[in-house]
A and B are shown apart, each in its own frame.
Chain A
Amino acid sequence: MSEIICPFCGAENPIEAVACFNCKKQLYDDVDPDASPPPRDEMEWLKDFRGFADDRSAGTIKATEADQSSETGETTTGDEESDVPEWLARIRALKEDETPAPAEEEPVEPEELPAYLGNEAELPDWIKEIKQGDVPQPLEEAGGDMPEWLKNMAGPDELPAAEDITPDLSMISPESGAEGGIQLPDIPYDLPGEEPAEVDLGQFTPLTDDTVDEAVDIPDDLFEAIASQPEPEKPPEPTPAEPQDDLDWLDTDITQPEPTEIKEEEPTDSGDLPEWMFEPAETEADTVPEPGELDFTTLDASLAAIDGENMPAAQSEAALPDWLLEDEAENFANQAEFQSEGAPNLEVGEMPGWLHAMRPLEAAAPELASPMDENRVEPTGPLAGYQGLLPGEGVVTQYSRPPVYSARMQVTDKQRIYATLFETLIVDETRVGAPPAEKSTTPQLVLRMSVGLVLIGVILMALIFNPGLAASPTLVPPESVVFYDTLQNLTAAATPPRVLVGLDYEPSLSGELSTIAASVVEDWMAGNSGLAFVSLNLSGPALADDLVNKAGARVPAYLAAERVINLGYLPGGATALAALAADPTRAAPASVDGIQAWNSLLLQGMVAVSDFDAIVLLTDNTENTRAWIEQVKPAVGSTPLLVVSSAQAAPALQPYVQSGQITGMISGFTGGAAYEQLTQAQNGSIRSYWDAYQAGMLLIAAFMLLGSLGFGIMNIFRRTKKA
């Protein structure tokens, strides 16, 4: 048994149901009791076209009443009468005049008939032919020939009540069955003639905005559910009906589910066309077009009006759902094809309810738009037989929206899981390059405080208690040995050496360098060496004085005021050293005290840096040491360049030591301790710091080892976990 599947909830409903028993929604979008026909004033163009503009009273025929009475015997209300367009009422009145009305049907009031219908002389020929009886029997008469199934289906018992479905006759589709509840649209049938197939019925189907929205919002799974339904039984093949008059299909389709038989008409001459069809042209232009060259400007204008917003039905077209438009277009295309092949007796296929319910599935296929043959021959109507006519109905009615593709990716759950996993991997990989920012500085602060306090605590303990656990270095670097040997050789000479001391360290590292250099300066002082200090940084002169004061305090016999001169600050870095190397007397003419240095007893007779017996550089940075080696060393020739460097600069200075450009070097506390070990100093400055230094260095190494192992293992576990 045929069933109707609700497009909203998917529930199965009886074939005669109009509203879904489950969701209570209308099963058919085009069943809209509240739908009202287009305003009358918007239909004025039709009246003008037909020349009935002044005859407003002629169209008030109770067609609804007549049609309803033909099926159910019930009368309709006055409101429903007013919904019938007057042009349809006039045609129906004409038809009823020509056909015997059934007994129960109310007679049509004569004054409601159009004027031209009453005057037979004014009737067109084709209407006269109709009146002459070469038309099939009226529907009521043919009703006895109806098949039994059709009678059963069309019986009043199975039809819904009149109050359930407002039988707006203008909405009933001619090819639809009564059981489907499909109503014909409000069609201006007089435009293309009496050929129903030339009219797109869908465009006149009034739909409210609500129904449009509901049609659009049909869920996708509903289509799948419908598609998965077993194919319903085919309806019994309808018996071909008797040939009917061209106007009979109106009543037939309204009242019967039987498909109408379309009569193929021979191409007619223009003289066969009803004259009223050309009346607008005569009215407007006062010229009658030649039969052979019909003026279609009026028709085109009408089509333009249809296409435009003057056509009320065109406005309702915009509210139509796509699937309905496409479906109607397809039906129309089938009919056109059928007619062009010249098979006049074939019946239009009946669309059963179940098929109607499957329309959303068809709407999903955008290819349903009907192809139009531009060279087709107009099959029916006043322009029948003409080729290449503008398919006005196609322009107006066949609307095919561009296909809409869903932007949603249809993936299975498995694919979604894989995609999620892949995304997780990608996100983790991208985080490798940019480490996540610290959520809080608290852990870092705690770590710094802990490390700092432990380190300071260990150093303080070592300094205070000075346990002497750290053994003095016995392995002395060779450059320290060279340094020591050079110094000893120079100070052991008969003439006290004159040494140029370059003090080139910042106050920040004075703790390290002044401690190391103190032992060296003491040894120079012990040899009564003359020391000329020069500095490349601003704090140098003061640091030099401080160093001399500290060292001189440990060598009381040394006359620092006579043997030491502070040449002060040399601005310009490497440029100043170049000047010093070129001519020291002009590069550093005076001491910090303002004394002409090169006239002093210490430096008297010296004109070049090579006159110094040695150059001692106290440095903490590589760049300035490189400048000394590049600018001064070439100028001094074989004069030894001895370097006391900070531990931070030592690795970068090792190549100069290896190449021999630096004669000897002491670097860091380790080098200082080794030098003190060489000199056998009993109260060396470094010796007092040695325990703390070694403990601190080993503690830092332990911290680093533990941290590296801890975080390294954590990284390995993290990567393993990710993998």
Chain B
Amino acid sequence: MRAPLSTAIAIAAGGLTLIGLLIPADPLLSIRIRLVEWAVALAGVAGLVAILHLLSVHWRKLTARRNKNFNSAFLLIAFIITFITGILLKPSHPTMQKIVTHIQVPIEASLMGVLAISLTVAAIRLFQRRGGWMSVLFAISALVFLVIGSGFLSASANIPVLKDVLAAVNALPIAGARGILLGVALGSLTTGLRVLLGSDRPYSG
């Protein structure tokens, strides 16, 4: 068996957590809570590892002998400045708040705005590359919900049966979405059980 210690840890931790969920009584509940807390702390460390890995990658790009990427220098400089500032000022400082609200938000929101234009272009060219009844149905559905989402029809409350029609149309995606949610849940259940039974060992990579 590959990585027996890790497998044992995964099965034991998962099993205890699941039992603690099914039988919410001490000591199982306490064990479950403790394991979940450890997992939360480790998730934070894992986030830090991800950030450190990002920095190492860009450091290698900057110090590479060939094809140096000098844009990585800007990334590293921005990181260092922000990190030092944050360590000194703490996250709740207004300056740190401004970093999010006046740098991250404008950039990300503007990117989302560009996405609106790109999606519009993609919607225009939908039938340039794809055909078939699924595409037609998709386009009709998108068009209908764009109009409904605009609130244009919602302003016409005095039109008879419009409310019922809108309610019926709005209910149509529920069936498909519920199917998707159930499929995702079943998939999560299967994957989780495979991990708990040791069939899948994604941690041993």
A444 x B36 contact (CB < 8 A): no
CB contact under 8 A between A655 and B36, given known A455-B117, A707-B126: no
B80 at the binding interface (Cβ < 8 Å): no
One of B46, B117, B174, B184 near A658 (C-beta < 8 A)? B174
Bound CA span A517–B154, Å: 21
One of A582, A586, A655, A690 near B177 (C-beta < 8 A)? A655
B125 at the binding interface (Cβ < 8 Å): yes
Chain B positions 89-117 with a Cβ under 8 Å from a chain A Cβ:
90-92, 96-97, 99-101, 104-105, 107-109, 111-112, 114, 116-117
CB contact under 8 A between A475 and B108, given known A539-B100, A592-B92, A711-B127: no
B151 x A673 contact (CB < 8 A): yes
- Shortest distance from the beta carbon of A437 to any chain B beta carbon, whole Å: 11
Bound CA span A477–B178, Å: 19
Bound CA span A693–B111, Å: 18
A57 at the binding interface (Cβ < 8 Å): no
B181 at the binding interface (Cβ < 8 Å): yes
A654 x B173 contact (CB < 8 A): yes
> Which A residues are in CB contact (< 8 Å) with B109?
507-511
A670 at the binding interface (Cβ < 8 Å): yes
A273 at the binding interface (Cβ < 8 Å): no
A308 at the binding interface (Cβ < 8 Å): no
B33 x A582 contact (CB < 8 A): yes
B101 x A586 contact (CB < 8 A): no
> Which B residues are in CB contact (< 8 Å) with A417?
none
> Which B residues are in CB contact (< 8 Å) with A582?
29, 32-33, 36
A579 at the binding interface (Cβ < 8 Å): yes
Most buried by A among B99, B108, B118, B154: B154
Bound CA span A510–B29, Å: 37
Chain B positions 61-92 with a Cβ under 8 Å from a chain A Cβ:
90-92
Interface-located stretch among A18-26, A259-267, A695-703: A695-703
Bound CA span A306–B23, Å: 102
> Which A residues are in CB contact (< 8 Å) with B111?
508
Report the contact-size class of chain B (Cβ under 8 Å from the partner).
35 or more
Bound CA span A670–B154, Å: 9
Report the contact-size class of chain A (Cβ under 8 Å from the partner).
35 or more
B146 x A711 contact (CB < 8 A): no
Interface-located stretch among B4-12, B52-60, B155-163, B193-201: B155-163
> Which B residues are in CB contact (< 8 Å) with A715?
127, 131
A704 x B120 contact (CB < 8 A): yes
B96 x A542 contact (CB < 8 A): yes
- Shortest distance from the beta carbon of A673 to any chain B beta carbon, whole Å: 6
B177 x A652 contact (CB < 8 A): yes
Interface-located stretch among A168-176, A313-321, A366-374, A445-453: A445-453
A472 at the binding interface (Cβ < 8 Å): yes
CB contact under 8 A between A506 and B178, given known A571-B40, A579-B33, A694-B152: no
CB contact under 8 A between A579 and B37, given known A475-B157, A542-B97: yes
A287 at the binding interface (Cβ < 8 Å): no
Chain B positions 115-139 with a Cβ under 8 Å from a chain A Cβ:
116-118, 120-121, 123-129, 131, 139
> Which A residues are in CB contact (< 8 Å) with B118?
448
B39 x A575 contact (CB < 8 A): yes
Most buried by B among A579, A583, A669, A706: A579
Bound CA span A639–B32, Å: 24
One of A509, A539, A573 near B112 (C-beta < 8 A)? A509
A712 at the binding interface (Cβ < 8 Å): yes
A150 at the binding interface (Cβ < 8 Å): no
Chain B positions 144-198 with a Cβ under 8 Å from a chain A Cβ:
145-157, 162-163, 166, 170-171, 173-174, 177-178, 180-181, 184
B120 x A703 contact (CB < 8 A): yes
23 A-B interface contacts by CB (under 8 A): A435-B129, A448-B121, A451-B124, A455-B120, A475-B156, A507-B104, A508-B109, A508-B111, A509-B109, A509-B112, A570-B40, A571-B44, A576-B40, A578-B36, A626-B181, A668-B149, A670-B149, A693-B151, A704-B120, A704-B143, A707-B127, A708-B126, A711-B125
Binding site for A on B (CB under 8 A): 29, 32-33, 36-37, 39-40, 43-44, 46-47, 90-92, 96-97, 99-101, 104-105, 107-109, 111-112, 114, 116-118, 120-121, 123-129, 131, 139, 142-143, 145-157, 162-163, 166, 170-171, 173-174, 177-178, 180-181, 184
